[in-house]
Copies of this chain bind each other. A is one copy, B any other.
Amino acid sequence: MDDLDWLLLGELQADARLSFSELSRRVHLSPPAVAERVRKLEESGVIGGYRAHVDPRHTGRSVVALVTMSCYGPGCVLRHPEMLDSPDIFEVHRVTGGACCVLRVAVATMEDFESLIDRLAAYGTPSSSMVLSSPVPWRPTSP
């Protein structure tokens, strides 16, 4: 991971669809050199994939929330992956502190949200914070 790798990572984080040729122009390296560096970044796991980013709010999922689950023991939602296998749940993070995990969820309506919370409540105590806006929706990893 030298400066050149970070340059490539920066470009690909900003636009994952850049061709090796275009990348080679931007970082002033030959296309084969770029291809091999990117391949190594992929194989080493630094690049975990290339994704089109879809804003849930642009697809009818206008209710976004962070749901903190307090549930320990055998009933904990983390021990029931089928519950977490919902298209409404976009991220699950196990955390330290008074809660066991934090979920990022996005649904179309408050009614859907209520129903999701009801389902989650079977495993523990959900505590919800509605996301009003995201001043920093995302930032690239940099050195």
B47 touches A53 (CB 8 A): yes
In the assembled complex, the CB of A27 is this many whole angstroms from the nearest CB of chain B, namely: 14
Q: How many copies does the complex hold?
A: 2
With A51-B50, A58-B48, A61-B141 as contacts: A96 and B16 at CB distance below 8 Å: no
Provide the bound-state CA to CA distance between A134 and B101, in Å. Answer: 9
B47 touches A95 (CB 8 A): no
- Our pick among B51, B78, B106 for the contact of A51 (Cβ within 8 Å) is B51
22 of the cross-chain contacts (CB-CB < 8 Å) are A9-B52, A9-B54, A12-B52, A14-B49, A17-B17, A46-B55, A46-B58, A48-B53, A49-B52, A51-B51, A51-B140, A84-B136, A89-B139, A90-B136, A91-B134, A91-B137, A94-B131, A95-B132, A96-B132, A97-B128, A97-B130, A106-B141
Q: Which chain A residues have a beta carbon within 8 Å of chain B's beta carbons?
A: 1, 9, 12-17, 44-56, 58-59, 61, 66, 78, 81, 84, 87, 89-97, 99, 101-102, 106, 128-143
